[in-house]
Structure 1
Amino acid sequence: MIQAALQQQQPAVPRPIHRRAIVPQHHITAHCRLNEDYFAPEPRFGENMFRRRFTMRRPLFLCILGALERRYEYFRIREDAVGKPGHTPIQKYTAAIRQLTYGCATDMFDEYFHIGKTTVRECLQYFCEGVREIFWERYHRKPTPEDC
């Protein structure tokens, strides 16, 4: 009873306010760097490095990217919540391919691609669903005797 009376008389101590650390994401700068490294007419890293890093040749990469862009709005460039341009299709697709290629953690892409781990996870999910829907009929077949 006395404890309750004392607690009522003491002013409530406000809780400390914790602010989230906001990391600025420079989507366009990251896209330009990725483009200069792999997709420019004279890229910084040649065809051999592209094949090693992406486990496919550049024309196949661009073919799959084009199919995903045409079919799904997720793989088109959109504005983010603030009204700035969001991630480009190449950034999203590259993040998904790199996850599949290297089997790495989702937060690894923050430094080079400027993509957060939640978005990287979404990229992989939409990529896998998209490839399965677009290319399933064409490439899913029973093995032929030559395959075996």
Structure 2
Amino acid sequence: MNLKAWQSLVFQENQQLNCMIEDILINSSNMFIGDQPLRARKIYHDKQCEIGEARLMEDYFVDNSTYDDAIYRRRYQMRRSLFRCIVDVVIANNDYFQQRPDAIGSQSLSPLQKCTGVMRVLAYGTSIDAIDEYLRMSGYTTRDALMNLVDGVILCFGQAPQVSYIVNGRENNRAYYLTYYIYPSWTTFFKLITFPTKKIYKLFAQCQESCRKDVERAFGVLQDRFAFIRHPCPVWDKDNIGRIMIACIILHNMIVKNELDAYLHYYNPTEFLNNMPTNRQPESYTEDDGQPSTFSTEFELEI
């Protein structure tokens, strides 16, 4: 077959193929987007956000509110004054939380509604649409407010302290992390010595295990405070999960610092220097012979 005959054959085959495609497009109406059934339009629901705001203000944020400070602290894991401080700072740095009218002139959700909804989700670990009936806040808005509050907390309060210490006469300005052997061999990762033989290695392993236990206990306290990170996370994006975890750690540290005065009135700190409590009364009971016996609170420390 010469070149001219081959070109003629290719042209005929292309013509046949074009005719087949045109026939399919013309006779098959399902191929056209316009013939597909239209999606139902989203129905607008007037949630009456002002009702949710009025209920929230009456319950927690007005004089002689329905619920006192103790109940607010138990439900939202922080004092009311600290929550208001966080909201004010985040509002000043994020336009998302500023209240403004929508397209039909109705006021949107207030900053207190959005932040309260986020804190309830973090504290109780509930689904994002569980607060719709109380705060008139949809699941989509709650999810959006969650990530905006997380970013605001990290931006406004997440400044890490400067680390500086001297080891073997050399000054270091980077922190080290206590890890297991499964982590990469990076210079900032201090792994556990699996089988310590020398005395100094045994001492190091003992101190490292003690510090790791403290970290694990602290993480347990964090999970107890925020049920959102204790339950299976409803956020599927890995980066968002990391940001939420960082924000929860920052909030936890802020709560501890704000409530530090509540942790200091139980015992006199000097009592631990003498190994004998100074503000406990000895307990007594009556034995079978009728003579009262006294339990001493003194104890000896064994090393």
For this structure pair, what is the TM-score category when the shorter chain's length is used for normalisation?
A: 0.7 to 0.9
> Are 1:73 and 2:95 matched, yes or no?
yes
**Aligned residue runs from structure 1 range 5-84, under 5 A:** 18=40, 20-84=42-106
Per the TM alignment, residue 25 of structure 1 is displaced from its structure 2 partner at its CA by: 0.8
Q: Deviations over 1:39-73 (max 9, x none)?
A: 11111011111001110001100000000111111
Distance 1:17 1:125 in 2: 29
Q: Deviations over 1:79-125 (max 9, x none)?
A: 12322100000001001111111111111111001011110000000
Greater share of residues in helix: 1
> Are 1:122 and 2:144 matched, yes or no?
yes
Distance 2:96 2:42 in 1: 27
Give 4+ residue runs of structure 1 displaced > 6 Å after superposition.
Answer: none
* Identical-pair percentage: 32
Distance 2:41 2:142 in 1: 24
Per the TM alignment, residue 24 of structure 1 is displaced from its structure 2 partner at its CA by: 2.0
Equivalent of 1:90, from 102, 106, 112?
A: 112
Distance 1:17 1:68 in 2: 38
Distance 1:37 1:63 in 2: 19
Distance 2:131 2:81 in 1: 23
Distance 1:22 1:84 in 2: 13
Per the TM alignment, residue 18 of structure 1 is displaced from its structure 2 partner at its CA by: 4.7
Distance 1:102 1:59 in 2: 20
TM-score by length of 1: 0.80
Q: Which residue of 2 aligns with 1:3?
A: none
Greater share of residues in strand: 2
Distance 2:38 2:80 in 1: 52
Distance 1:44 1:37 in 2: 5
Matched position secondary structure for 1:121: helix
Q: Which residue of 2 aligns with 1:136?
A: 158
The Cα RMSD (Å) is 2.5
Matched position secondary structure for 1:68: helix
Distance 1:55 1:16 in 2: 47
Distance 2:117 2:45 in 1: 19
State which drifts further: 15-24 or 101-110: 15-24
Per the TM alignment, residue 19 of structure 1 is displaced from its structure 2 partner at its CA by: 5.6
State how many pairs are aligned. Answer: 133
Per the TM alignment, residue 21 of structure 1 is displaced from its structure 2 partner at its CA by: 4.2
Per the TM alignment, residue 75 of structure 1 is displaced from its structure 2 partner at its CA by: 1.1
TM-score by length of 2: 0.40
Matched position secondary structure for 1:107: coil
Q: Which residue of 2 aligns with 1:7?
A: none
Q: Which residue of 1 aligns with 2:237?
A: none
The residue type equivalent to 2:132 in the other structure is D
Provide structure 1 residue ranges, at least 5 long, that are not aligned to the other structure: 1-14
